[in-house]
Structure 1
Amino acid sequence: MSTIQSRYFMILILFIIVYGAVTRLLPLQSEEAMVQSISEDGYLMMTIARNIALGLGMSTANGTIPTNGTQPLTSFLWAGIYWLVAGDKVQGILGIILVQFTLATLAAVLLWRLGIHILPPHPTKRQIAILAAALWYASPVTIAQTQNGLETPFYLLAVLGIALLVALSIRKWSFRHSILIGLLLGITFWIRNDAIFFILAVCLTQLLLGSWQRHEFWPRFLQVNVMGTTTVLVALPWLIYNKVNFGGIMPISGSSQNLTSQFGQNLPLLPSVLIEYLLVFFPIPGQLQMMWPVVLASTVVLIGITIGLWPLWLRLQQPTERRLFLLVSLYGIGLIGFYGLYFGAGHFLGRYLFPLSPFLALFSVAIGWWIWPQIPWQPLRYGILAGFMVSLSSVIVYKSLTNHPHQHAQVIDWVNQHVAEEEWVAAVQTGTLGYFHDRTLNLDGKVNPEALQARRQGPTELIKYVVNKRIGSQRIEYIIDWFGIASWIEKHSLIKQNFKLIIADPKLNLAVLKRQ
């Protein structure tokens, strides 16, 4: 790369990084923008965190419903922010946006360092690493997933840090090192419990490609057991808490999400989600992801990439490359197998597979960089580069000009205008509503073990629960949610006997039932 090319390249990188940073901080321009930047499930976690800060424990519904429907370590981190701002809801959002920005920025730096250490010796490997990190950092998909009020950026930072540590520890791994990695893996489990697949991948990678000689299997086996035991000991308090207080080791949020799942229901969505992460900066609109031409094309591309991974594995010479390749492959197989075949909630598949995104970004940029000089006709190269720049600019302009209101803004607005603070409301989706109206009862069971138990017994039991539930001497006065909840009046006679439908607005996507 010539001096002039290097200069233009660094200008491009600087532009992409600045765009990513500014876009991440853009919600700070107004209170409304800050409120809209947080996801529905992000508000669930933030409600629990705020209650912890206020001395109400891990709970929802104004501290009256104990819950474990959260990822604990991030909840504790958010609770620290709410403690600093004395529980102020808007200032809490501000603090969380800034922390998420910091975590995502650190993750991009780690991805850059990972690329420098892992990519094969090449004069331009630093350029490949910084391009991958910059594109990943500024990607609309990445920004959405790491600025959602959830554990995603914290989890991603932990995964990248441990992956870098494991890949580079080929010559200095010891039993002390096993304990250190075990501690970090245990902490990662506290950040998100599907880290079990990452933990398993780290253990298998060390077992198969450990720092001892290849024939010395048993010392490596002992190392892995020390590491795994340490991880379990760190994770054990959270598992015991879940089992003793809520009857199972999985948080009730996961049990609720998986309640209506069917085997393999997410498989059609998998290819387009993975291709979206391989494209790095170019999101596939949600309405296109399930269309059969997109699914078919994505599947064909993924099959081709999978077939090409074997010769790529054979070409890897450095131990660090092989360790990272095996680690990410095993981790990816675990996540794809679990969320593609077993778990439900397909609309969250992008978030569940998001920890793979930085590795896929590094992979796709490295492959693109290798293919580029192989293109024989120079005008074609310039045409591809021009097309890339136009596409990049189009995504930036589109994302800058479009403003999508929060999907639950209309619910909050109606409650603020018509419901007194002391009145109780119930909703199936209570993330945003429960954050801004403390006296909100959750009905989908994500954060309410009583509602989850009622759902397990059938729709009739859930209806009985919401009709008969009392919090102290008070009953539920309103049931409010998206328009679909209006059908409860006709479907359930018990609802019709106790509530009347006062709002049913499909255009606004809002329905309100008021107790008679």
Structure 2
Amino acid sequence: MNLRRIFNNRYYSAGILGLCAAVALGSYLLASDGVFRIGYPLDDAWIHQTYARNLGETGSWAFIPGQISAGSTAPGWTLLLAIGYWVNLNAYFWTYLLGWAVLWLLSLTATYGFRMLLPQHADLGILAGLLVIFEWHLTWAAGSGMETLLSGLIALAVLLWMISLSDQSAHGINHLGWQWLGLGLLVGLSVWVRPDGITLLGVVGLTLIMTNVDLITKLRSGLILGAGFLLAAIPYLLFNLVLAGEIFPNTFYAKQAEYAILRSFPLWDRFFNLIRQPLTGVGIVLLPGLFWFGTETLRKRKWAQAFSTLWILGYLILYAIRLPVTYQHGRYIMPVIPAFCLFGLVGMVLLVELLTEQNFGRIIKNAWIIITAVILLAFWILGLRAYAMDVAVIESEMVDIAQWVEKNTEGESLVAAHDIGALGYYADRNLLDLAGLVSPEVIPFIRDETALRNHIDKEGANYLVTFPGWYPNLVQSAGLIYQTNGAFSPMMGGENMSVYDWMPP
């Protein structure tokens, strides 16, 4: 059996992609263990683990046992993690297994999408799957312990399903009610993974409006779509309303308040800072393809495909307006990268086909293939080191501090802290969350150190845990009693996390 037949066989290609996903993620995990030890590359992953553990072991939705709260941005992801605790699996094993499964499913979805969009090149579909596996942001996300990759998978699935429905309608197939219902349900489920999944409802609705069917069919399909969405989304809104008194989780409001100062910069500056993130890597060579895909589908009035491209742009603009943060390699906008990669790859294949008809076309084609492969692999290797260093910082700072607090502070003490993930997991202490995730009362004055000091005093905190530079005024009111000696944070231009004995006036 030759390679083309192997790649075109869905079972062989699925097996190859599953193996490649395991190699990609496993390499990142081995790198982190080699640099320091296994862990997660951001403290927020420990927030999910803490909620999941408490849910699995006590049946309560709480970060601090006995205190119900809405500090998980992604309750759907937390529920998946909780399964591991229910069946007594090792937490690392289950989390990484989920990461591998999502990465594999994402590669299968991208492969299917490529074959659907370019049926004449179906044998090349596996390349789309390999592309999303080895795009370094996505491998990083698979090992992050976060919901990011699952959000990207659902978004890509919604867009491809929408394109398929639009194509079926264009060919006169109008009995699609159950599919619109399913699509609405999937969009509704997306908000359980990330609140910004609701943006998918706009692009699906816009596509339905432009679908080439009669008005009655549009209205009927729209009602079915809306019913499916509400069926999944209303429980989510009620869930947050009961827990926090708001329809979205505390994190939705806390992050925007904490980084409000960034919105003072010009919008164009914020947007270009964000778009740099998916372009750092293979995205830069896929950008012409994405542009070509978007403009050609718009010119040919293939609305579903054109609007899918515009969704990527709109998502970036939305974050530029509301939360223009780029830390952790731009993880908030990583959900657009799978769609960016697929549509960019499809566009580049079409563009290269066009160029091969011109002089030097074959040279251009071969050069693009080589450049794409080299950049993809080079940045995947760079991402491997970035992941390992990110994990090392979290483990040598946040986890180290949390374990020290557990061993060296009184059980009934109240600890005020900004990063509460590892603290919640390792230290059985009452926590005052200065980031507002489980202490939403601080959100109105989240960046006001004077107000924070007064609140810490009012609550009677015994300790303050922070990086000194984050709250320079607060630490002046406290006595240093412990500081990590981690080498990785200073190596990356940061500082060591510290524990202070809080001394109220």
Q: After TM superposition, is the score higher than 0.5?
A: yes
In the alignment, the residues of structure 1 paired with residue 24 and residue 294 of structure 2 have an alpha-carbon distance, to the nearest angstrom, of 35
Write out per-residue CA displacement over residues 179-211 of structure 1, whole angstroms, 9 at most, x where no aligned residue: 33222222222222211110121122122115x
Indicate if the aligned counterparts of 1:56 and 1:63 stay in contact, CA closer than 8 A: no
Write out per-residue CA displacement over residues 305-325 of structure 1, whole angstroms, 9 at most, x where no aligned residue: 658843443247xxxxx2541
Q: Which runs of 5+ in 2 are unaligned?
A: none
What's the CA shift for 1:115?
Answer: 0.9
Q: Residue 182 of structure 2 aligns with which residue?
A: 180
SS, match of residue 479 in structure 1: strand
SS, match of residue 514 in structure 1: strand
What's the CA shift for 1:19?
Answer: 5.3
Q: Residue 85 of structure 2 aligns with which residue?
A: 82
In the alignment, the residues of structure 2 paired with residue 110 and residue 147 of structure 1 have an alpha-carbon distance, to the nearest angstrom, of 19
Question: Matched residues, percent identical?
Answer: 19
Out of 355, 361, 365, which is 2:341 matched to? 361
SS, match of residue 249 in structure 1: coil
Tell me if 1:148 matches 2:134: no
SS, match of residue 250 in structure 1: coil
What's the CA shift for 1:161?
Answer: 2.7
In the alignment, the residues of structure 2 paired with residue 160 and residue 166 of structure 1 have an alpha-carbon distance, to the nearest angstrom, of 10
Q: Residue 97 of structure 2 aligns with which residue?
A: 98
SS, match of residue 144 in structure 2: coil
TM-score, normalised on structure 2? 0.79
Out of 408, 422, 429, which is 1:419 matched to? 408
Indicate if the aligned counterparts of 1:278 and 1:364 stay in contact, CA closer than 8 A: no
Cα gap change, 1:397 to 1:158, in 2 (>3 Å): closer
What's the CA shift for 1:67?
Answer: 2.6
Which stretch of the first structure deviates more once superposed, 193-202 or 371-380?
371-380
What's the CA shift for 1:274?
Answer: 3.7
Out of 378, 392, 395, which is 2:379 matched to? 395
In the alignment, the residues of structure 2 paired with residue 181 and residue 62 of structure 1 have an alpha-carbon distance, to the nearest angstrom, of 37
Tell me if 1:350 matches 2:330: yes
Tell me if 1:479 matches 2:464: yes
In the alignment, the residues of structure 2 paired with residue 353 and residue 159 of structure 1 have an alpha-carbon distance, to the nearest angstrom, of 12
Letter in 2 for 1:225: L
Indicate if the aligned counterparts of 2:31 and 2:385 stay in contact, CA closer than 8 A: no
What's the CA shift for 1:428?
Answer: 0.8
In the alignment, the residues of structure 1 paired with residue 293 and residue 180 of structure 2 have an alpha-carbon distance, to the nearest angstrom, of 33
What's the CA shift for 1:484?
Answer: 1.2
SS, match of residue 393 in structure 2: coil
Tell me if 1:465 matches 2:451: no
Q: Residue 510 of structure 1 aligns with which residue?
A: 497
Cα gap change, 1:256 to 1:126, in 2 (>3 Å): same
In the alignment, the residues of structure 1 paired with residue 368 and residue 159 of structure 2 have an alpha-carbon distance, to the nearest angstrom, of 33
Indicate if the aligned counterparts of 1:53 and 1:82 stay in contact, CA closer than 8 A: yes
After superposition, where does 1:304-343 map in structure 2 within 5 Å? 309-315=294-300, 322-343=302-323
What's the CA shift for 1:245?
Answer: 4.1
What's the CA shift for 1:238?
Answer: 2.3
Write out per-residue CA displacement over residues 253-312 of structure 1, whole angstroms, 9 at most, x where no aligned residue: 01001114226666435346546536764689xxxxxxxxxxxxx9xx78x965884344
What's the CA shift for 1:144?
Answer: 1.3
Write out per-residue CA displacement over residues 468-496 of structure 1, whole angstroms, 9 at most, x where no aligned residue: 325xxxxx3321222314623466xxxx2
Indicate if the aligned counterparts of 1:445 and 1:455 stay in contact, CA closer than 8 A: yes
In the alignment, the residues of structure 2 paired with residue 310 and residue 153 of structure 1 have an alpha-carbon distance, to the nearest angstrom, of 27
In the alignment, the residues of structure 2 paired with residue 59 and residue 459 of structure 1 have an alpha-carbon distance, to the nearest angstrom, of 27
Q: Residue 117 of structure 2 aligns with which residue?
A: 118
Write out per-residue CA displacement over residues 65-98 of structure 1, whole angstroms, 9 at most, x where no aligned residue: 5234422211111112122228xxxx21221110
In the alignment, the residues of structure 2 paired with residue 267 and residue 163 of structure 1 have an alpha-carbon distance, to the nearest angstrom, of 27
Cα gap change, 1:208 to 1:43, in 2 (>3 Å): same
Q: How many residues align?
A: 470
In the alignment, the residues of structure 2 paired with residue 221 and residue 442 of structure 1 have an alpha-carbon distance, to the nearest angstrom, of 47
What's the CA shift for 1:241?
Answer: 3.4
Indicate if the aligned counterparts of 2:465 and 2:498 stay in contact, CA closer than 8 A: yes
Tell me if 1:406 matches 2:392: yes
In the alignment, the residues of structure 1 paired with residue 402 and residue 216 of structure 2 have an alpha-carbon distance, to the nearest angstrom, of 63
Write out per-residue CA displacement over residues 414-458 of structure 1, whole angstroms, 9 at most, x where no aligned residue: 4424624725432111123322223243211023223335538x4
SS, match of residue 472 in structure 2: helix
SS, match of residue 415 in structure 2: strand
What's the CA shift for 1:110?
Answer: 0.9
Cα gap change, 1:56 to 1:399, in 2 (>3 Å): same
In the alignment, the residues of structure 1 paired with residue 223 and residue 437 of structure 2 have an alpha-carbon distance, to the nearest angstrom, of 34
Tell me if 1:500 matches 2:479: yes
Cα gap change, 1:510 to 1:348, in 2 (>3 Å): closer
TM-score, normalised on structure 1? 0.78
Q: Which runs of 5+ in 1 are unaligned?
A: 285-297, 317-321, 471-475
SS, match of residue 502 in structure 1: strand
Indicate if the aligned counterparts of 1:253 and 1:446 stay in contact, CA closer than 8 A: yes
Cα gap change, 1:276 to 1:429, in 2 (>3 Å): closer
Task: Please provide the CA RMSD for this pair.
Answer: 3.9
Cα gap change, 1:501 to 1:55, in 2 (>3 Å): same
What's the CA shift for 1:509?
Answer: 2.3
